[in-house]
Chain A
Amino acid sequence: MADGQSTDPEAARIEAAVEQPVARGTALLQVRDLKMHFPLTQGILFKKQVGAVKAVDGISFDLNQGETLGIVGESGCGKSTLAKVLMNLERATSGQVLYKGEDIAGVSGRALKAIRRNIQMVFQDPYTSLNPRMTVGDIIGEPYEIHPEVAPKGDRRKAVQDLLDVVGLNPEYINRYPHQFSGGQRQRIGIARGLALKPEIIICDEPVSALDVSVQAQVINLLGGLQQEFNLSYMFIAHDLSIVRHISDRVGVMYLGKMVEIGSDEEIYEHPTHPYTQALLSAVPVPDPSGREGRERIILSGDIPSPANPPSGCRFRTRCWKAQQRCADEEPLLAVPAVFLGLPTAAAHESACHFAEDVDIVGAG
């Protein structure tokens, strides 16, 4: 694809597109029918494919400039795989990822380098995502080795110290090693590294789930402040529904490789129409004991099925209390349900259920 370094027209086109400014609120990243299947093979010498783990199986959504899109779902739903595909850490099986209109799924070489500068990632585990043998200065400054145009050699130390200051760490810590920091401070280092190249999009994969409760709020506040300051767009992947609601403008709910419901935070939390979203919201423990006796919970039976062999039709039907024959035969599409179409209600948002219903759930606030 991108072997011809200097004459590659695709790379040149993407490099040009990346420089284009995008108006606030318009789509920066458009994901269309994205699939990531991991092959399952059998045999040692003559490997033959016997199936595939469909980690991400046909997902479409937009990420708008300046917004935070929250992605929630349980383990195994494919939310982290989605992040990896968007980062080009995994090569998508099929589908498109349009960044400012250019398809970036599976690009390599010069084009990939240009994209990476603009899409950065903050990882979940601040203990394993920092190299223990590198100083904080080297960790945060490493992106400049690959993209020297962002900070010329002489300015790098200053640039790193500025970044430390921006994320609320003492700039004098530049020569320390990761083990000298606490979890929350390490996550700040990870965020500083993500910011180094002045990206437009930061994909945060469970950025606070490894942190103590009292430190989580600090990091959430930091992310919020940075978004304002640097005009960032976030894709915020998490399983903590109340944190996602706090930080997100829109929320997408994933189940077994599919997006089952997507809408504004109010639409999802106040008017969930997909039974899985409803169950998820009602299962979240509410940090308020008053009225706990009267609270009705939807307790799902069973476990999430294997993504290597997902149920036919609607993937949630094996655990769904509304499931009927139609759910096994026909896969529901992610669209505004017909019953709500054109109605002036917050329930009129995209939901992949044949029997979508607006239910009031007293759940994660």
Chain B
Amino acid sequence: MTPNLSRALGRRSRAQIVALLKVQAKLSLREPYALGVGVGLPTVLLVVFGFISKAVPGNVGSTGLNVIDLYIPVIMVISFIGIAISLPSTLVRDREIGWLRRVSTTPVHPAQLLGAQLVINLVFAAVAIVVAMVGGSVIFGAPLSVDIPFFILSVVLAIAEIFSLGLVVVALVRTQSAAGVVGGVLFFGLLFLSGLWVQPDQVTGPLQYILLYSPSGSAVRALLYSVFGEAPPVTILVAVIGYTLVFAFVAVRYFRWE
């Protein structure tokens, strides 16, 4: 391959990537499920728990933490859940209506379409992280002391785990209506397990164990330790990594483009 040709091909694939990102960004703004549940909902929750924290300051379940301190990681994980649950609603539809098949007749593989959508969703997740961290500490006074390496690791693992779970739904569910039902049930299940309604420190026994080591609960724990300057326990990290591997395997194994 001559240098000129490979440069031309490089330009072409860059042009493809830019065009895909542009279209996926526009569609994500016109069908704002991911934006609404992934950024809007966490923002509302931040305000709600921020004011609760100011009204009822002090120790939750003798953890030494305020309400807002405990809920910053929960809010971040809820953003990831919201975005992951929005993946099936668009991807299952795009497959059902034959859009992914249509794209597969062009030089672009539908995987690139999915990739572009994931990039846009990562941007939404990043916005939600900034809202939760900056809003939580600056506006509502959470005394964060972020352990940067563990924080980055926890964020990457949490997003990988929860997004993979969304892709499992895309892989296993055939129709848009089924995706709505499965996504809805999963959404509230994961919200509960993340500790939105009950924190693991407020309960004992098996429920506490479930809340700590569930897919969304373990992601919350990993983030909680790392935003308060501590290394997450190995058991928590192993749980998150284990879930990620299982979900990713199932998603890849059963994924269909048409």
Partners in one complex: no
Identify the A interface with B (CB < 8 A): none
Identify the B interface with A (CB < 8 A): none
